[in-house]
Amino acid sequence: MVAGLDPDLDRLITRLPKVELHLHIEGTLEPEMAFALAAKHGVTLAYPSAAALRAAYDFHDLQSFLDLYYAGCAVLRDEDDFRALAAAYFARAHADGVVHAELFFDPQSHTSRGVAMGTVIGGLRRAIADAHAQYGMTAELILCFLRHLSEEDAFATLEAALPYRDQFVGVGLDSGERGNPPSKFARVFAAARGHGLRIVAHAGEEGPAAYITEALDLLGAERIDHGVRCDEDDALVARLVAAKIPLTVCPLSNLKLCVVKDLAEHNFAALLRRGVAVMINSDDPAYFGGYVADNYRATAAALGLTADELILTAEHAARAAFVKDDIKAGWLARIAAAR
């Protein structure tokens, strides 16, 4: 139980059917699994034990996290590694009441090490099929381009993924935001849209509000990942409200990466109360100290969210998913019944 959280709200959070739309599957690699896979493949990690690795999760900004996150990817080598990674996430997500998840994956962090695109997507799709059979959960994949790499590399990645076009629903943009504006990838995203792919982008996490505007105008983003710096531009907030652009906010990530100093200072509640379609996600839960229900609980306690606000948060996520309207209607009915 999170300190300061009303027990009724705690129970509501447990009951709420949740949709998770901002989750990097590589960010679910728990230290114990990293060590097991390292042993399997004869890879040496920079830390002597899982406990020592976990103790190193003391980040001061996005880049200090990304350095460890990309190093961890080195243990993911064959199709079964990707299957096992996603299977472990689905087990935890199911326990948290997640009914649907849209998983980001970073193929460039694997193909650059000689792992084939088909190995990554094949393993993740096997876990999705198993989670559906075992838990009735649904999931989709979103391929993210690493924004610290070149436009040319992103184009090559899109090309390599096209043979698997029916196995992922969209493309996104992640990695180090500062100095890597959405405009750098406008032509790649235009090509992705041409293939009917859905569009999301990380923007306004560490980067300025102008990057959110670029993601909307130059990439055609339908959802903004993070987006918390939108409140530096009132006209942008008004646009997000009017156009109902969802923000996939990740409160514990923002805390761990020092985007906010204290969860009590997070603008999640303020944005929600201004009418922005914000929702709660876990981002890289193995690194940030909590999966999605932990994020709901910590945010509700720190910001004094009400039952109605928690329900609205869950509704925002359900409405923003890349699924058909009749599926969303089913989730919305279940959310209403959780009250």
- Measure the CA angle with vertex 229, ends 203 and 273; round to 5°: 115
Residue 249, φ and ψ in degrees, nearest 5: -80, 145
Residue 226 CB contacts under 8 Å (≥ 6 apart), including other chains: 22, 202, 203, 204, 205, 247, 248, 249, 250, 253, 254, 259
In the complex, the smallest distance separating the C-beta of residue 134 from Zn ion, rounded to whole angstroms, is: 26
Residue from 79, 96, 206, 283 touching Zn ion (CB under 5 A): that is 283
Residue span 20-59 as binding mask against ligand ADE, x where in contact by CB under 6 A, dash where not: ----x--x--------------------------------
User: How are beta strands 223-226 and 247-249 bridged, if at all?
Assistant: parallel
- CA nearest to 206, candidates 64, 69, 61: 61
Q: Which of 30, 79, 205, 315 is catalytic?
A: 205
Answer for which of 109, 119, 175, 213 binds ligand ADE (CB under 6 A) is 175
Q: How far is the CB of 36 from ligand ADE (least distance, A)?
A: 22
Size of the site for ligand ADE (CB under 6 A): 11
Work out the number of other CB atoms within 10 angstroms of the CB of residue 4.
11
Residue 205: active-site member: yes
Q: How far is the CB of 153 from ligand ADE (least distance, A)?
A: 16
* CA dist 95 → 88, 175, 258, 306 (Å): 11, 29, 28, 23
Interaction pattern, residues 235-274, with ligand ADE; x per rule: CB under 6 A: ------------------x---------------------
284 binds ligand ADE (CB under 6 A): yes
Q: How far apart are CA 338 and CA 247, in angstroms?
A: 23
Footprint of ligand ADE (CB under 6 A):
24, 27, 62, 69, 174-175, 202, 205, 253, 283-284
Catalytically active residues are: 205
